[in-house]
């Protein structure tokens, strides 16, 4: 999943470059590209052992297309760099409404598929034998993942999106033991990293928000590792 997040975020750059070139709308292009990528990965990566290879192949091709499209763009350079590094202060009211709609849709989708997705994640073979549509669930989750990653990229850009999509969850799993607790704590860590990063950026006056968000997120991960290592309960679970 970490590699899927990385691949989806990098290929959202390709969609954003296309949207910027065709309609001067990188946000719409990024979401459209994310949906296309999720569909391709869902169709080609049906077997678990093939998924990483499929992501790598599609990622390499998609990045090449993205660089090609960006080469044809002759507008303001900031529009192009915002795709890679994000610009939370440049999000318009219209884009904010789109992000809110995406967040609500993701929340509803995860609420609907949470239990069967948990079953399929723990033991996909048994889940399939019990009639759980594992392949369909995996594809739906890829769509959810693609939309989530693209939304997060508006804050930190496609290059640092792992700091909001992976690091908070990696931190939460070092502290919490129940899947529901991990999910809630990871969201709290992501919010704390976002708000903390913006505050640090404003206080410094020179540092980009995306860099500050990534730094705060990493700091939370270091704290979680130290806390988990010194907690007997976590040590017992980890062993």
- CA within 13 Å, CB half, 186: 20
Encode pLDDT of 131-152 as tens digits. 888 888 888 888 888 888 888 7
Q: For the residues of 63-128, what is the DSSP string, one character each?
A: HHHHHHHHHT--S-HHHHHHHHH--GGG--HHHHHHHHHHHHHHHHHHHHHHHHHHHHHH-HHHHH
pLDDT recorded at residue 46: 61
Q: What whole-number distance in Å separates Cα of residue 80 and Cα of residue 158? A: 11
Indicate the pTM of the whole model: 0.75
Per-residue pLDDT of 40-91, as tens digits, reads 877 776 666 677 787 788 878 888 888 888 778 777 656 666 777 777 777 7
Pick the CATH number of 1-158 from 1.10.3470.10, 3.30.420.40, 2.130.10.10, 3.40.140.10: 1.10.3470.10
Domain ranges of the chain: 1-158, 166-239
Average pLDDT over residues 170-188: 90
Half-sphere exposure of 104 (CA within 13 A, CB side): 6
Mean pLDDT of 94-123: 87
Give the separation between CA 125 and CA 132, rounded to whole angstroms.
Answer: 10
Res 238 pLDDT > 50: no
Band of pLDDT at residue 185, cut at 50, 70 and 90: very high
């Amino acid at each position: 999943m970490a590699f899927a997040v990385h691949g989806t975020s990098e290929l959202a750059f390709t969609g954003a470059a296309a949207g910027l070139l065709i309609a001067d709308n990188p946000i719409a292009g990024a979401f459209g590209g994310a949906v296309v990528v999720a569909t391709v990965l869902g169709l080609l990566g049906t077997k678990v052992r093939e998924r990483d290879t499929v992501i790598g192949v599609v990622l390499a091709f998609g990045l090449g297309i993205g660089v090609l499209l960006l080469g044809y763009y002759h507008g303001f350079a900031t529009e192009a760099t915002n795709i890679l590094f994000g610009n939370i202060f440049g999000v318009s009211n219209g884009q904010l409404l789109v992000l809110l709609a995406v967040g609500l849709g993701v929340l509803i989708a995860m609420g609907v598929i949470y239990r069967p997705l948990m079953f399929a994640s723990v033991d996909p073979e048994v889940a399939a034998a019990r009639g759980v549509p594992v392949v369909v669930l995996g594809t739906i989750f890829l769509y959810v993942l693609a939309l989530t990653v693209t939304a997060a990229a508006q804050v930190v850009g496609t290059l640092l999106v792992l700091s909001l999509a992976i690091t908070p969850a990696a931190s939460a799993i070092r502290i919490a033991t129940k899947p529901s607790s991990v999910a809630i704590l990871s969201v709290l860590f992501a919010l704390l990293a976002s708000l903390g990063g913006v505050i640090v950026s404003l206080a410094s006056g020179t540092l980009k928000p995306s860099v500050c968000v990534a730094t705060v997120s990493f700091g939370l991960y270091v704290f979680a590792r130290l806390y988990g290592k010194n907690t007997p309960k976590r040590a017992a679970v980890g062993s």
